[in-house]
Amino acid sequence: MVNVAKRVLVFDSGVGGLSVLDAIAASDALLHLDYLADNSWLPYGLKSDAQLRERVPALLSRVSEDWAPDLIVVACNTASTIALEAVRAALAIPIVGVVPPIKPAAALTRTGVIGLLATPATVQRPYTNELIAQFAAGKRVIRLGSAELVEAAERKLAGAPESEITHAAAQTCAQLFGAPGGAEIDVVALACTHFPLLARELAAAAPRPCVWLDSGEAIARRVRQLLNAPSGEPRLGQAGFTDADAMRPAFPAFQARGIADFMSVGPAPYFSTAPADF
């Protein structure tokens, strides 16, 4: 009997979802993986809640008509916080969101001080406050919102000079570990899917070793569980972008992961898909 790989669509506003795609691809599950980036609207953190609740379900519904995923991963913290329920209401397939790894960070810390690195929007959201109250009560959580680090991840995959990326990581670490109480941080929760793409640079810039946590492995386990996927090599499919021209410098990063077919997704409300030249 030949196993048919279930199709998973990983969605983000930019390239950050590649950190989640990497985790799923490394999970030894026989899955077909596609990627979709709404990069014409990047960053989502600057859009209103109402705008995202309207756009994200419409975009994913339309692309799903063409790509027929069995499951969608909303690999974006902002979209997961704001639009996840609207996406689930619009689609009759499993939808997996991203949760900041505050719970495992609280379990791992020995000093009782956790760093929370996210976008400016995420660090301020009531949902983040609720997670901290529920899972990190009694811990000190030092928050830092960084839009610059999101931009650095996008630039890294587009081939920017290494010095630019290391400088952004150094600035971020200086702010996080230099904050009051920051000298005691021993675990950092990465609450933006862009940030694991900079894990090496962040670890090198930190003033001392610490644990850097993200949600990738947890998401991969959940995807495999929901689809009951057998063991096997993942199959990399296509990647689509709402601004394919702007994403062209990052195409080699997708190719390095095994994605060879690129699609252009047109504007709302039709979100029509067509091959993108490379």
DSSP string, 208-258: S--EEE-SHHHHHHHHHHHHTPPBS--EEEEEEETTHHHHGGGHHHHHHTT
Name, in order, each residue with C-beta under 8 angstroms of 228's C-beta and a sequence gap of 6 or more. Answer: none
Which residue among 87, 141, 192, 227 is the active-site one?
Answer: 192
- Residue % of the chain over a pLDDT of 70: 99
76 catalytic per annotation: yes
Q: Which amino acid is at 253?
A: A
pLDDT in tens, 149-207: 999 999 999 999 999 999 999 999 999 999 999 999 999 999 999 999 999 999 999 99
Specify the CATH architecture of the domain 6-98+217-275.
Answer: 3-Layer(aba) Sandwich (3.40)
Which CATH fold topology does 102-214 show? Rossmann fold (3.40.50)
Which residues of the chain have a pLDDT value below 50?
1
Say what the pTM is.
0.95
Domain boundaries, the chain: 6-98+217-275, 102-214
Cα separation, 265 vs 241, in Å, equals 6
Residue among 142, 154, 165 at smallest CA distance from 18: 154
| pLDDT confidence of residue 1 | 45
Q: Is-same-fold flag (6-98+217-275; 102-214)?
A: yes
Which residue among 76, 105, 198, 223 is the active-site one?
Answer: 76
173 catalytic per annotation: no
pLDDT in tens, 130-148: 999 999 999 999 999 999 9
